[in-house]
Chain A
């Protein structure tokens, strides 16, 4: 199975800080990766580097066997999509119009969205529970609804690589699980790979099979979640004592103690 995204000796720096010096990972179809780390460790910077939104300082990112800089933007946008944190909307627009923007990489400048695009957007809105609000103005939405709309726009874009910056932001408990379940299923059913920045170790343990621990002062650790998510690693990562206990059905539960 060919990886959807690979990094080869990737170097990422921001300001004076080194995020990673020599990162080698391969995202295979069906996998969900979590990026964990303290504030300022460079999680978003790394995510944007994987997406080609900022140039890496060394090494390369390869998307579907082709180096990132070789892609025309539109073609890349058909393969790789991002969920951003907190987008402000200065101008009015409706929920449906916003979701349909996800079809941009597939329609030419002079083309209109067709019935198929509309169907895809409607389906995505249904998946995040916003289909009844399709005609609403986006500035009347709550924070959680906005977040779900951003997720629906990404699902409308339908890339095979999804890079998510804190997808559970603003979501209530029920939707946190609903959305992460949705992404996990999506990855498995459509042979996609998902990378998500999370702050909740338990959500990462539940929904992500792989993890990148981004240390502020050392090289990142990468690997399978069940190997990587240990008391020792996490305590070192967050500079805070963390204990692992057995949950009701033997699922590991992490608590700060």
Chain B
């Protein structure tokens, strides 16, 4: 199967990107339809639906679905960037402790009785604090290898983990439920995704601009350097970009597991290796996965809601293992 024309190289990734662009709106329609109140679309559109129906769709399900898509996209994008930055297929958006910093700040805010923007604001500040902590410690001596960054991040993440356990063990019982939901990843309190969507679009275009260099960085920083990539500058930019993207996702939805780790791999296993395709495809697929997972999480045991992180792990783990088993040679 030898392609006789260079565009044949891109056939498969382009097809996958097209399929994902169709899946994205389709998944949102499915998610909007799922729930205890059934939807009559004609009535909603011409305004003749009753208030309850309209409120459920437009005030509850629509913002939550959009928020799920944006958060999934953010996590998948951060996952791709972290994996290239650390040159490690095991990397996920949380590996460098950004979610830990956000979680500590968010739990402290809950403990203080804060909610809404005060809570999400402190989570974002916590994420940024962790980001600068890891950055300055890993960067301290001037040498900034992926291993050094990874070790620093993992150690600081472990530190945050200990503080989280401490806060949980001294918190009053009435706070524990919401704290646990936040830690496992939960979209039910997430605000309208405007700021997340802006960060997603900015992150997507910036990383799209770096995508060709990322292809080489993913192989080897030495090769990248010798092929004309300004590696140390790019590394810092990717770190900051991935961190802010992660901070934005964590702030709106807590630490949702697996989306950031497996979405890039699902695409690589399907034959998308080039970051110029991998990045936009990952954003789409991450969004689709989280939209569907969130729909399941609020309907599976309705009226009881599950943390969406539980669902992403329950879908993600078997799906990932199956795909890895099927194509044992390409990962």
Chain A residues engaging chain B, CB cutoff 8 angstroms = 51, 53, 73-78, 80-82, 84, 87-94, 96-98, 100-102, 104-105, 107, 109-110, 112-115, 117-118, 132, 134-135, 137, 139-140, 153, 157
**Selected contact of B227 from candidates A75, A104, A113, A115, CB within 8 Å:** A104
Residues of A within 8 A of B87 (CB): 90
B2 interfacial contact with A, CB 8 Å: yes
Decide: A84 and B89 in contact? CB cutoff 8 A. Answer: no
**Selected contact of B222 from candidates A53, A109, A117, CB within 8 Å:** A53
Among all A-B residue pairs, the 9 with the closest Cβ atoms: A77-B228, A118-B6, A74-B228, A105-B228, A82-B226, A104-B227, A73-B228, A93-B273, A92-B330
B56 interfacial contact with A, CB 8 Å: no
B223 interfacial contact with A, CB 8 Å: yes
Residues of B within 8 A of A157 (CB): 227
Decide: B83 and A101 in contact? CB cutoff 8 A. Answer: no
- The interface stretch among B45-53, B66-74, B208-216 is B208-216
Residue of B nearest to A157 (CB): B227
B268 interfacial contact with A, CB 8 Å: yes
Decide: A113 and B88 in contact? CB cutoff 8 A. Answer: no
Decide: B228 and A117 in contact? CB cutoff 8 A. Answer: no
Contact with A along B315-331 (1 / 0, CB 8 A): 00000000000000111
Query: In the bound complex, how far is the Cα of B244 from the Cα of A27, in angstroms?
Result: 48
Decide: B273 and A92 in contact? CB cutoff 8 A. Answer: yes
Decide: A96 and B220 in contact? CB cutoff 8 A. Answer: no
Query: In the bound complex, how far is the Cα of B222 from the Cα of A112, in angstroms?
Result: 23
Query: In the bound complex, how far is the Cα of B228 from the Cα of A157, in angstroms?
Result: 11
Which of A84, A89, A92, A101 has most B Cβ within 10 Å?
Answer: A92
A-B CB pair tally, cutoff 8 Å: 101
B9 interfacial contact with A, CB 8 Å: yes
Residues of B within 8 A of A98 (CB): 219
**Selected contact of B9 from candidates A53, A96, A104, CB within 8 Å:** A96
Residues of B within 8 A of A53 (CB): 222, 225-226
Query: In the bound complex, how far is the Cα of B36 from the Cα of A25, in angstroms?
Result: 80
Decide: B227 and A84 in contact? CB cutoff 8 A. Answer: no
State how many angstroms separate the Cβ of B3 from the closest Cβ of chain A. 8
Decide: A140 and B329 in contact? CB cutoff 8 A. Answer: yes
Contact with A along B12-37 (1 / 0, CB 8 A): 00000000000000000000000000
Residues of A within 8 A of B215 (CB): 93, 97, 101
Query: In the bound complex, how far is the Cα of B147 from the Cα of A76, in angstroms?
Result: 28
Decide: A115 and B219 in contact? CB cutoff 8 A. Answer: no
State how many angstroms separate the Cβ of A112 from the closest Cβ of chain B. 8
Residues of A within 8 A of B220 (CB): 84, 87-88
Decide: A89 and B227 in contact? CB cutoff 8 A. Answer: no
Decide: A91 and B218 in contact? CB cutoff 8 A. Answer: yes
Residue of A nearest to B219 (CB): A89
